[in-house]
Amino acid sequence: MFKSNRVFAKIKMILCSLLFTAILLGGCKRELTGEAELIEKAREEINLADADTIDLAIIGESVEGESHLVWFMSGNSNQAHSYFPIEFLEVEANTYTFEKEYLAIKRGEDIYVLIWDYGYSFCVNNPKCKEILITDAEGEIQRIAVNEVPFVYYYKGTPSKYIFIDSEGNELR
C-alpha cells in the first residue's frame, strides 16, 4: 500500500507536468518573419480551392498600433481575383503572429471594404476607380486619390457615407 501511494504520486506529478507543458505550448503562436512566411500562413488560413498552389500576393495593409491588416489577392492576369484580409500582430520589427482572418464586403468590381479596429479598411484594385469620397459624421468630405491599383487605405472612425468615383466623377457600383 505504501509503494502504490508513491507510484500514484509519481503518475500524478507526470500528468501535472504534461498538462502544464501543454498549456504553455498551446498558448504560443508561431512567429512569422517576412512576406514569404505571411503568404504561407495565408495559404493555410484562406478558404479557397487550390490555396496551396494558386498565385497569392500581398497588395497592401492597414496598420493600427501593432495590429496589421494585410490584404492578400489570389489569381493572376488570366484569372478572377479573390481578396483576403488577415490580421497579424507585430511582435517585433518584421516579425508577426497570426490573429484572425476576415471576410471583406464587396462594394464593386475589385473593390472591398472591411470594418476593422474602429475604422474602415478599403481595398481597391479596379483601375476605373480614381477616388474614394468619405463623408464623416459632421458631413465633411475627404477625397482620397487612388493613383494606382492595388490600393489600400485605412480610415480611422466610422464614416456616414463612402463612395468610389471614376475619372468622370461617376459613382462606381
What was the pLDDT predicted at 39?
97
Residue of 70 and 11 predicted with greater confidence: 70
What was the pLDDT predicted at 135?
98
What was the pLDDT predicted at 37?
98
What was the pLDDT predicted at 173?
87
List pLDDT tens digits, range 18-69.
Answer: 445 444 444 578 999 999 999 999 999 998 888 888 999 999 999 999 999 9
Burial 43-77 (b: 16+ CB within 10 A, else e): beebebeebeeeebebbbbbeeeebbbbbbbbeee
List pLDDT tens digits, range 60-119.
Answer: 999 999 999 999 999 887 888 999 999 999 999 999 999 999 999 999 999 999 999 999
Q: Is the per-residue pLDDT at 3 higher than 70? A: no
What was the pLDDT predicted at 2?
54
List pLDDT tens digits, range 111-151.
Answer: 999 999 999 999 999 999 999 999 999 999 999 999 999 99
Q: Is the per-residue pLDDT at 154 higher than 70? A: yes
What was the pLDDT predicted at 9?
63
What was the pLDDT predicted at 13?
65
